[in-house]
Chain A
Amino acid sequence: MNLSNDDVQDILSLLDSLPYSELTLETSRFTLQLRRSAEGGWTQETQGLSQRVLAGPVAPATPPAPPSATPPAPPSGAPPSRGGPAAAAAPVPRAASDAGPDAQDIVAPLLGTFYRAPQPGAPPFVDIGGSVEADTVVAIIETMKLMNPVYAGTTGTVTEICLDDGQFAEQGAVLMRVSARTG
């Protein structure tokens, strides 16, 4: 049983009749700090302390089907926040392309997961040798559940795809290189 909003209300109605302006309740499962605010109301700060009870790992009946290969998992228990292990391993912005004066880089507009295809099993938006226009969608970057299309932003031929499908990309990381169309 966990602390509910109704429980907090009940504690507050008790506190309201007492002269105290702060209460800290600590159990093995949670801490609750209630403080009188400047406006005369109350604030709450809670911390769940229970350890989660982990059920055994489950082998899915069929292999998972994310967009192509499953990206490598960061170490268990290390949420991939900015600056965490996953971010440290993620590609960082590279120097401008050295593929020639006509080469253009397509970079990640924001940090997130790089996908080359619109959905699992679908053909990629573009391959090496494919030609692109400025408004061609070449990839998706998924950030916080939002699927953000990546536009080529330039006209030419894709010469290099710098990340694997499903890999994590920092903002500004080079995703693809495009050489300007000649003739």
Chain B
Amino acid sequence: MLRRILIANRGEIAARIVAACHRLGIETVLAASEADLDSRPARLSDRTICLGPPPAAASYLNVAAVVAAAAATGCDAIHPGYGFLAENPALARACAAAGLVFIGPAAAQLELAGDKLAAREQAAAAGLPVLPGGEAATAAQAQSLAADIGWPILIKAAGGGGGRGLRPVHSPAELAAAAGQAAAEAHAAFGDPRIYLERFLPTARHVEVQLLGDGERVIHLSDRDCSIQRRYQKVIEEAPAPLLADGLRTAIHDAAVAFGSRLGYRGLGTVEFLVADGVFYFLEMNARIQVEHPVTEQVCRLDLVAEQIAVAEGRPLSLAQQEVTVTGHAIECRICAEDPQGRPAPGTVTRAVFPAGPGIRVDTWIQAGSAVSPFYDSLLAKLIVTGADRADAVGRLRRELGDCEIAGVTTNLPLLAALAGDHGFAAGGMDTGFLARLTERTPAVAHG
């Protein structure tokens, strides 16, 4: 039984974890950078400890400082949230060495999921369909592999994931230069120059399955559709994924569980797939809680952070697969500090008004006075609406977005309102190119 948890994160997920801990009667210590010492999560947490200066490398990404903070404040566990150190095996190992519980999967599982190329090979070995592709170590290898795969192709970074380090290539003439640049960028961003190629499906849907495992048993908590993306970053997510044939949905769930079971997975994790023309392909696994977890919580009526803490305590899963039921439909949109071109827009929030009422949930870290720092990501709040069915949820989303008012920083609220009001979105089943086409049609709202 955990008594005191160090939360090594910031922003809305830090506030979310504080709330879950308090509901469970667990004390919290927030480990924050100097920039976040007066943030709302710091005010909500029982205590706050300073990790270091604002740059993430000197604070939120500093494994030694995080572990020392937990030890100094008498914590028995560390919750890494998402991003930062959440999928860093070094933190999981350092926790084990310091006698702390790491609220997440085993270090070896993090390593495997983090190496996107190794994960792809494991998925294929587990019988999951993968897109035609493979590693491209040399330019010659890339050319011959691409010829086998067929065009267009997508260059991916083995150390990437989460939509980062992707580069589409449409013709053989562009390949050598693109592969060289992708390797240099991958080396720069991830410290790993390995790249691989996959067939690029520009009009596929992004469907993912939420997994929960206790190290012995793995179950799924249904699926989400995250096809509304801007430059490979998710903007709107929903659960369940609409317009999937029952047989296909079951096959995707089974594939995700097969992959998690092969790893003996413990904790929360998400297996991501592309779906096109009634066929699905494994993309990657994210070995952490995800930004979009609330839509699953809303339709499954579960607290995923509480489940995550329970399995980290060494308890068996609290529910069996047949006890997982999906009721209604939930949609989340990410309200971000960005300009109409999608560039980050730091500043200070002077006013933050959100809708309230049945079927409405807002996960946020901002209030009047909150500083939106250029050192961190641009997510301000997540608006989650839940309806009896998808049409009901879409209607609510349209209404409730109109009740959001954020002053002081530029936000993507106009883009979200345009999306919610679009009849293509209302129809459901959009592909990952949907948002780019929408912004081309309505340049006044947002430039792609």
- A contacts, CB < 8 Å to B: 1-2, 4-5, 8-9, 12, 34, 37, 39, 41-67, 70-74, 76-77, 79-82, 84, 86, 110-113, 118-120, 122, 125, 135-137, 140, 142-147, 149, 166
Contact assessment for B44 and A58 in the assembled complex, using a CB-CB cutoff below 8 Å: no
- Write out the residue numbers on chain B whose beta carbons fall within 8 Å of the beta carbon of A149: 184-185, 188-189
Contact assessment for A64 and B403 in the assembled complex, using a CB-CB cutoff below 8 Å: no
Contact assessment for B67 and A61 in the assembled complex, using a CB-CB cutoff below 8 Å: yes
A144 and B22 in contact, given A39-B403, A60-B64, A66-B57 (Cβ under 8 angstroms):
no
20 pairs, CB–CB < 8 Å, chain A vs chain B: A5-B361, A12-B358, A39-B403, A44-B355, A52-B37, A54-B47, A55-B48, A55-B73, A58-B68, A62-B64, A64-B57, A64-B65, A70-B52, A79-B35, A81-B347, A84-B371, A110-B343, A111-B346, A147-B164, A149-B184
Contact assessment for A2 and B19 in the assembled complex, using a CB-CB cutoff below 8 Å: yes
Q: Which 7 A-B pairs have the closest CB atoms?
A: A66-B57, A79-B371, A73-B53, A44-B356, A119-B191, A52-B42, A48-B43
- Write out the residue numbers on chain B whose beta carbons fall within 8 Å of the beta carbon of A67: 57
The total number of A-B Cβ pairs within 8 Å is 215
Contacting A at CB under 8 A, from B317-371, are 343-344, 346-348, 351-358, 361-362, 367-368, 371
Contact of B355 among A43, A55, A57, A71 (CB under 8 A): A43
Contact assessment for A51 and B43 in the assembled complex, using a CB-CB cutoff below 8 Å: yes
Contact assessment for B40 and A122 in the assembled complex, using a CB-CB cutoff below 8 Å: no
Across the interface, name the chain A residue whose C-beta is closest to B65. Answer: A60
Contact assessment for B344 and A45 in the assembled complex, using a CB-CB cutoff below 8 Å: no
Contact assessment for B49 and A135 in the assembled complex, using a CB-CB cutoff below 8 Å: no
Distance A123 CA – B112 CA, assembled complex (angstroms): 27
B443 within 8 A of A: no
Across the interface, name the chain B residue whose C-beta is closest to A110. Answer: B343
Across the interface, name the chain B residue whose C-beta is closest to A37. Answer: B403
Contact assessment for A118 and B49 in the assembled complex, using a CB-CB cutoff below 8 Å: no
B272 to chain A: closest CB distance in Å? Answer: 20
- B contacts, CB < 8 Å to A: 18-19, 22-23, 29-30, 34-38, 40, 42-58, 61-62, 64-65, 67-69, 72-73, 83, 164, 177, 180-181, 184-185, 187-189, 191, 343-344, 346-348, 351-358, 361-362, 367-368, 371-378, 399-400, 402-403, 405
Across the interface, name the chain B residue whose C-beta is closest to A57. Answer: B50
Contact of A140 among B37, B58, B188, B377 (CB under 8 A): B188
Distance A79 CA – B44 CA, assembled complex (angstroms): 19
Across the interface, name the chain A residue whose C-beta is closest to B49. Answer: A55
Contact assessment for A39 and B402 in the assembled complex, using a CB-CB cutoff below 8 Å: yes
Contact assessment for A144 and B354 in the assembled complex, using a CB-CB cutoff below 8 Å: no
A53 and B47 in contact, given A76-B37, A79-B54, A149-B188 (Cβ under 8 angstroms):
yes
- Write out the residue numbers on chain B whose beta carbons fall within 8 Å of the beta carbon of A51: 43
Contact assessment for B29 and A44 in the assembled complex, using a CB-CB cutoff below 8 Å: no
- Write out the residue numbers on chain A whose beta carbons fall within 8 Å of the beta carbon of B376: 144-145
Contact assessment for A58 and B355 in the assembled complex, using a CB-CB cutoff below 8 Å: no
Contact assessment for B58 and A77 in the assembled complex, using a CB-CB cutoff below 8 Å: no
- Write out the residue numbers on chain B whose beta carbons fall within 8 Å of the beta carbon of A142: 55-56, 375
Contact assessment for B68 and A43 in the assembled complex, using a CB-CB cutoff below 8 Å: no
A43 and B374 in contact, given A2-B22, A70-B53, A147-B188 (Cβ under 8 angstroms):
no
Distance A171 CA – B121 CA, assembled complex (angstroms): 41
Contact of A2 among B29, B44, B69, B177 (CB under 8 A): B44
Distance A146 CA – B376 CA, assembled complex (angstroms): 8
Distance A65 CA – B90 CA, assembled complex (angstroms): 13
Could you list 15 further interchain pairs (A-B, Cβ under 8 angstroms) beyond the known A4-B23, A146-B344?
A: A12-B356, A41-B355, A46-B367, A52-B42, A53-B47, A65-B62, A70-B55, A76-B50, A81-B348, A111-B346, A118-B188, A144-B344, A144-B374, A144-B378, A147-B164
- Write out the residue numbers on chain A whose beta carbons fall within 8 Å of the beta carbon of B353: 43-45
- Write out the residue numbers on chain A whose beta carbons fall within 8 Å of the beta carbon of B67: 61
Across the interface, name the chain B residue whose C-beta is closest to A31. Answer: B367
- Write out the residue numbers on chain B whose beta carbons fall within 8 Å of the beta carbon of A110: 343-344
Contact assessment for B346 and A56 in the assembled complex, using a CB-CB cutoff below 8 Å: no
B311 to chain A: closest CB distance in Å? Answer: 23
Distance A70 CA – B30 CA, assembled complex (angstroms): 22
Contact of B188 among A8, A47, A48, A125 (CB under 8 A): A125
- Write out the residue numbers on chain B whose beta carbons fall within 8 Å of the beta carbon of A76: 34, 37, 50
A104 to chain B: closest CB distance in Å? Answer: 20
Contact assessment for B357 and A9 in the assembled complex, using a CB-CB cutoff below 8 Å: yes
Across the interface, name the chain A residue whose C-beta is closest to B51. Answer: A58
Contact assessment for B58 and A66 in the assembled complex, using a CB-CB cutoff below 8 Å: yes
A64 and B52 in contact, given A82-B374, A144-B374 (Cβ under 8 angstroms):
yes
Contact of A81 among B18, B22, B180, B372 (CB under 8 A): B372
Across the interface, name the chain B residue whose C-beta is closest to A145. Answer: B377
Contact of B357 among A4, A41, A73 (CB under 8 A): A41
Contact assessment for B58 and A64 in the assembled complex, using a CB-CB cutoff below 8 Å: yes
- Write out the residue numbers on chain A whose beta carbons fall within 8 Å of the beta carbon of B371: 79-81, 84
Distance A54 CA – B48 CA, assembled complex (angstroms): 5
- Write out the residue numbers on chain B whose beta carbons fall within 8 Å of the beta carbon of A52: 30, 37-38, 42-43, 45, 47-48
Distance A50 CA – B54 CA, assembled complex (angstroms): 22
- Write out the residue numbers on chain B whose beta carbons fall within 8 Å of the beta carbon of A147: 164, 188-189
A8 and B189 in contact, given A64-B58, A79-B371 (Cβ under 8 angstroms):
no
Contact of A58 among B30, B43, B72, B164 (CB under 8 A): B72
The residue in B181, B354, B375 that gathers the most chain A C-beta atoms within 10 A of its C-beta is: B375
